[in-house]
């Protein structure tokens, strides 16, 4: 019987200006995640970037400066993993795997820290993924993930896109739409807690933050719909926030 995992929900810091500020600064959620990651002591150790692509995280702040590469540069060793061939072109990695985390031949207990940016929503086999992440971490290692909240309407829209096979029809590259299948099986507190417990993690901490940029996935004539949702709910109440940030402790 798995030992119950300790769960903590951290209150979202106040956002002066509310909806107007979120509309002005569309990268506020990523800046919040960067501020949390910057305080992580394990960042100075051996780090694995899951889903790193050719150059690591590309998210920029409101000054158009990359948010996460300077943080990952603190690592004593940075390794990377991605299913696509672009990982072979990543210049900052010591070790690299063109693979999913579940299939990569990573030695057990290798990493102080694992980070993933918009990866959890693409995990199909949650049990295998969580077990692989737990196995790759050192006994006191941690993992941080940033991902859309599965209870947000954005996730419902993505499910509809998958169901209607829109990715195939538009070639998989419309308004940031990618070709990677999206499942949303690790994007709610209940699902993540259950999976983390099954994998043997000791604790999971959750953070939520609102984000407004999902309107760009709508045709221009319908963009008023997500804006109304955000003005009424998405920018005001935590259960309706779009972004969730998760810390796993082995």
**pLDDT tens digits for range 109-166:** 999 999 999 999 999 999 999 999 999 999 999 999 999 999 999 888 877 776 666 5
- CATH code for the domain in which residue 85 is found: 3.40.50.150
Residue 114, in any domain of the structure: yes
Strand spans (E) along 11-134: 46-50, 77-82, 96-98, 111-117
**Least reliable range by pLDDT among 112-121, 162-171, 202-211:** 162-171
User: Distance between CA 43 and CA 37 in Å, rounded?
Assistant: 8
pLDDT score for 245: 97
Sign of CA dihedral 244, 245, 247, 248: positive
Rounded to an integer, the average pLDDT of 235-249 is: 95
Domain range for 88: 6-150+181-213+241-249
Do the domain assignments include residue 225? no
Q: How many domains does the chain have?
A: 1
State pLDDT tens for residues 32-72. Answer: 999 999 999 999 999 999 999 998 888 888 888 898 999 99
| Assigned token pair, 91 | 């210049």
* SS3 call for 156: helix
Mean pLDDT (the chain) is 90
pLDDT at residue number 168: 53
**Does residue 140 form part of some domain?**
yes
32 within a domain of the structure (yes/no): yes
Q: Is residue 236 part of a domain?
A: no
Residue 210, pLDDT above cutoff 70 = yes
The answer to whether residue 141 sits within a structural domain is yes
- Measuring CA to CA, how many Å separate 103 from each of 55, 82, 106? 21, 11, 9
Per-residue model confidence (pLDDT) at position 2: 67
**Sign of the alpha-carbon dihedral angle for 195, 201, 205, 207:** negative
Nearest to 146 by CA among 186, 110, 116: 116
Asked if residue 228 is part of any domain, the answer here is: no
């Amino acid at each position: 019987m798995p030992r119950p995992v300790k769960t903590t929900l951290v209150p979202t810091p106040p956002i002066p200006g509310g909806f107007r500020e979120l509309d002005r600064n569309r990268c506020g959620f990523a800046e919040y995640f960067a501020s949390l990651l910057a305080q992580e002591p394990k960042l100075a150790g051996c780090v694995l970037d899951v889903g790193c692509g050719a150059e690591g995280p590309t998210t920029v702040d409101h000054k158009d400066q990359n948010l996460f590469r300077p943080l990952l540069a603190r690592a004593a060793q940075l390794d990377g993993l991605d299913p696509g061939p672009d990982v072979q072109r990543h210049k900052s990695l010591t070790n690299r795997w063109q693979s999913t985390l579940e299939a990569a031949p990573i030695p057990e207990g290798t990493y102080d820290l694992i980070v993933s940016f918009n990866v959890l929503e693409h995990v199909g086999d949650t049990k295998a993924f969580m077990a692989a992440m737990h196995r790759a971490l050192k006994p006191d290692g941690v993992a941080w993930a940033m991902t859309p909240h599965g209870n947000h309407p954005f996730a419902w829209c993505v499910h509809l896109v998958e169901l209607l096979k829109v990715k195939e029809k538009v070639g998989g590259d419309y308004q940031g739409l990618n070709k990677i299948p999206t499942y949303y099986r690790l994007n709610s507190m209940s699902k993540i807690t259950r999976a983390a417990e099954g994998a043997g993690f000791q604790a999971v901490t959750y953070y939520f933050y609102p984000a407004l940029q999902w309107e760009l996935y709508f045709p221009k004539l319908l963009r008023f719909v997500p804006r109304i949702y955000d003005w009424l709910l998405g920018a005001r109440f935590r259960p309706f926030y779009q972004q969730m940030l998760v810390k796993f402790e082995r």
